[in-house]
């Protein structure tokens, strides 16, 4: 039985194109009222999965449930879904009012109700004054809002968003990211969002689904996926990480030693030692922004200091990304800038706390 608390369920879903398998045995739930993001590189299967939910692509195997009802063979127009695509797909020859009203007219809603619903949708996207205009009279950001209004005016069971912000410039993307989340929260509609943009995925999601090569590599709350990656792919794709082959040593009081192949010794916590699944051969994952930089040694209980030399500095405004060489290995380090960034060629110490040394089994991926 499907759980009606879930807006969408994928049960052992497979999608093949001839001999190529685009989606491989996917089990996934989209809880009611939640914002779920599919994140991954091009070709990972995220858009194919969205299209299967929409009814635009047939499922090869498995079951797709929407609101507890199996919809494998149900056509798109009977699924009560709102869709927003990258190119907005507005009708250029129709007014904004008629663009938004299109789905309601198809559902034979009365003229009075159509007017009321369209006006409410325009208010929700904060464009109440553009009903009589045409798409080419609006900016890109305004067109994106109208596409969203058209999707939500039908009161969909699920809202599907396929890279809807990718055509916007950086500042407008950030503004629309906030607006999109506000609208989703206000409506309480279950939303599936597809993106390859990490910052969008982390900022907007209740649940993050990281995909690779047709598989779900990891799913969970954004902070859990980011801080505790389940695989080297997730650690490498999401954010900037140093991933280093290592060997687990013996417990030392509250911590366990981790000997890196480059010669340094880190410390890790008991929790991370358990995650290594009993293997002595592990990989240590240290996020770039979890490494502190100082001209002083500064080692303390639970924090080790590794001497190195700054090779390159990427100035990023409020932050700087450093490439630091230590014992023949290059490390990535991202630190906020208080006054001036450390200079290229500077001798430096990298400080790594035990809690920030995440372990993965050594033989993985």
Instruction: Clarify whether residues 201 and 52 are in a common domain.
Output: yes
Q: Cα 247 to the chain's mean position, in Å?
A: 31
The DSSP output letter for 228 is S
Q: Which of 227, 257, 285 is the last residue of a domain?
A: 227
- For residue 234, being part of any structural domain is answered with no
Instruction: Clarify whether residues 72 and 165 are in a common domain.
Output: yes
Instruction: Clarify whether residues 189 and 45 are in a common domain.
Output: yes
Instruction: Clarify whether residues 180 and 268 are in a common domain.
Output: no
- Give the integer Cα–Cα distance in Å for 141 and 337: 32
Instruction: Clarify whether residues 146 and 245 are in a common domain.
Output: no
Q: Which of 204, 227, 250 is the last residue of a domain?
A: 227
- For residue 100, being part of any structural domain is answered with yes
**pLDDT on residue 17:** 95
Instruction: Clarify whether residues 217 and 319 are in a common domain.
Output: no
Range of the domain at 353: 240-361
Instruction: Clarify whether residues 124 and 170 are in a common domain.
Output: yes
- For residue 73, being part of any structural domain is answered with yes
**pLDDT on residue 1:** 41
Q: What is the pLDDT along the chain (365 residues), one digit of tens a residue?
A: 445 689 999 999 999 999 999 999 999 999 999 999 999 999 999 999 999 999 999 999 999 999 999 999 999 989 999 999 888 789 999 999 999 999 998 888 999 999 999 999 999 999 999 999 999 999 988 999 999 999 999 999 999 999 988 878 888 888 889 989 999 999 999 999 999 899 999 999 999 999 999 999 999 999 999 999 999 999 999 999 999 999 988 766 678 889 998 888 999 986 777 666 666 888 999 999 999 999 989 788 889 999 999 999 999 888 999 999 999 999 999 999 876 789 999 999 999 999 999 999 876 55
CATH of the domain at 295: 2.40.50.100
**pLDDT on residue 280:** 81
**pLDDT on residue 5:** 82
**pLDDT on residue 276:** 62
CATH of the domain at 108: 3.40.50.300
Number of domains, the chain = 2
Instruction: Clarify whether residues 83 and 13 are in a common domain.
Output: yes
- For residue 232, being part of any structural domain is answered with no
List the helix and strand counts (H, then E) for the chain. Answer: 9, 20
> With b meaning 16 or more CB within 10 Å and e meaning fewer, what string describes 178-216?
ebbbebbeebebbbbbbbbbbebbbebbbbbbbbbebbb
């Amino acid at each position: 039985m499907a759980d009606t608390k879930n807006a969408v369920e994928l049960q052992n879903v497979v999608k093949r194109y001839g001999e190529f398998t685009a989606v491989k045995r996917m089990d996934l739930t989209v809880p009611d009222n939640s914002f779920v993001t599919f994140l991954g590189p091009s070709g990972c299967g995220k858009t194919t999965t969205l299209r299967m939910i929409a009814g635009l692509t047939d499922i090869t195997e498995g079951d797709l449930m929407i609101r507890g009802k199996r919809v494998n063979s149900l056509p798109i127009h009977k699924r009560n879904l709102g869709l927003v695509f990258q190119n907005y797909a507005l009708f250029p020859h129709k007014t904004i009012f008629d663009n938004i009203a299109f789905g309601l007219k198809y559902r034979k809603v009365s003229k009075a109700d159509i007017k009321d619903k369209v006006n409410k949708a325009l208010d929700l996207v904060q464009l109440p004054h553009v009903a009589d205009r045409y798409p080419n009279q609006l900016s890109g950001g305004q067109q994106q809002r109208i596409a969203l209004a058209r999707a939500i005016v039908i009161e969909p069971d699920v809202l599907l968003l396929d890279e809807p912000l990718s055509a916007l410039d950086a500042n407008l993307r950030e503004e629309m990211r906030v607006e999109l989340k506000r609208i989703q929260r206000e409506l309480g509609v279950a939303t599936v969002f597809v993106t390859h943009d990490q910052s969008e995925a982390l900022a907007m999601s209740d649940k993050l689904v990281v995909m690779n090569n047709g598989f779900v590599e990891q799913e969970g709350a954004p902070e859990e996926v980011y801080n505790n990656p389940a695989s080297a792919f997730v650690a490498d794709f999401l954010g900037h990480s140093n991933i280093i082959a290592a060997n687990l040593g013996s417990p030392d009081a509250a911590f366990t030693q981790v000997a890196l192949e480059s010669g340094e010794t880190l410390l890790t916590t008991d929790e991370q030692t358990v995650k290594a699944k009993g293997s002595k051969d592990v990989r240590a994952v240290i996020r770039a922004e979890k490494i502190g930089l100082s001209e002083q040694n500064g080692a303390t209980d639970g924090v080790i200091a590794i001497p190195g030399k700054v090779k390159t500095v990427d100035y990023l405004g409020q932050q700087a990304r450093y490439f630091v060489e230590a014992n023949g290995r290059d490390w990535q380090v991202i630190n906020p800038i208080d006054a001036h960034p450390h200079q290229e060629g500077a001798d430096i110490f990298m400080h790594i706390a035990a809690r920030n040394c995440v372990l993965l089994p050594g033989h993985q991926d």
